[in-house]
Amino acid sequence: MTTRTATEIKDILEARNDYPFKIRFSTTVPKFPIYPYCVVRKQPPLSRDKDVTDVTERNGFEIQYYVRYTRRQETEEVDQTTVENIMLDALEKEYGADTIFLQTKQWNRTPIPRLYGSQSLLRIIINEKESTTGEGVLGAEMTLTVEDIPVIQILNISSIEGPSVDKHFDDDHLSHVDPYGFDQGDFTIEYESTPELENQLSVYRRAGNEVDVIIRKKGQAKSYKMIIGATSKRGQYDKVERATTKFLVESLTNSVRAGQMGVDAILV
């Protein structure tokens, strides 16, 4: 996880050259301020929640932008809005490459009556997650590739792999298990539904042929030959539609087919 300092955030904002006028940036409140100026502070400090599987880090910043009005208020407010949007855009680009679990960015604006000016305050809260052991894989670190379709971000995944068994009882009423088949993989995968993606998948689904599928988990890729099964979708007025599709494994690429595999022991 990446924990940025106030100085790093200040440098990101200061690097922009499209402000309507010169702005002075610092990480401390200046004793003798020259307007307009911007103060970047680490607030709230880093906090961490940890359990047996996950570590969650929360960190935040406050960006305080002060401007003294020397022109008509309408003109000053237009430029102030421009500055706020530029800063917000710079931070969106900085954090856009990260895996998003939670990001909150909100500007507040209050007047400074004594100086006839205004203070803008941007609060940023960022949540980051990782495995407690460092070996586990978060759902955000899983992707799906189907043939030549661009990488699909997996939102939810469940799978069934391994032998199927039947139970029977002997004359002493003790149960025994008999393997009768081996499932190479039955994956149910949820992802964001888009018209283009659904059109591409429907071509493979209707053909009913095997397709090349790669599932990546934390950089480790596993290739399969799969049949694309049924898709169910759900959406609501204020939520992006999600699709859930079943992928049935026909064979593992460069591996032995299920019919050639034997089961030596079953652990129950």
Residue 62 burial (C-beta neighbours within 10 Å; 0-12, 13-18, 19+): middle
SS3 92: helix
Question: What's the maximum distance between 2 C-alpha atoms anywhere in the chain?
Answer: 97
DSSP for 23-51, please give it: -EEESS--SS--SSEEEEEE-SPPEEEE-
Cβ count near 132 (within 10 Å)? 12
Residue of 2, 124, 134 lying closest to 55 (CA atoms) = 134
pTM (predicted TM-score):
0.71
CATH architecture for residues 6-131: 2-Layer Sandwich (3.30)
Pick the CATH number of 139-260 from 2.30.110.20, 2.130.10.10, 2.70.180.20, 3.40.120.10: 2.30.110.20
Helices 73-95 and 6-14, packing angle to 10 deg: 120
Task: Return phi, psi of residue 57, to 5°.
Answer: -110, 135
**Cα dist. 124→34, 91, 165, 206 in Å?**
25, 9, 53, 46
List the domain boundaries for the chain.
6-131, 139-260
| Strands 24-26 and 37-42, sheet pairing | parallel
Task: Return phi, psi of residue 106, to 5°.
Answer: -145, 125
pLDDT computed for residue 1 by the predictor: 63
Cβ atoms of 110 and 125 closer than 8 Å: no
Cβ atoms of 160 and 229 closer than 8 Å: no
pLDDT computed for residue 260 by the predictor: 38
The mean pLDDT values, 10 residues at a time, for the chain of 268 residues are 83 94 94 93 88 88 93 92 93 69 83 85 88 89 92 92 84 84 86 93 88 92 92 92 92 47 40
pLDDT computed for residue 160 by the predictor: 87
pLDDT computed for residue 158 by the predictor: 93
Q: 176 Cβ partners below 8 Å, 6+ apart?
A: 167, 168, 169, 170
pLDDT computed for residue 253 by the predictor: 56
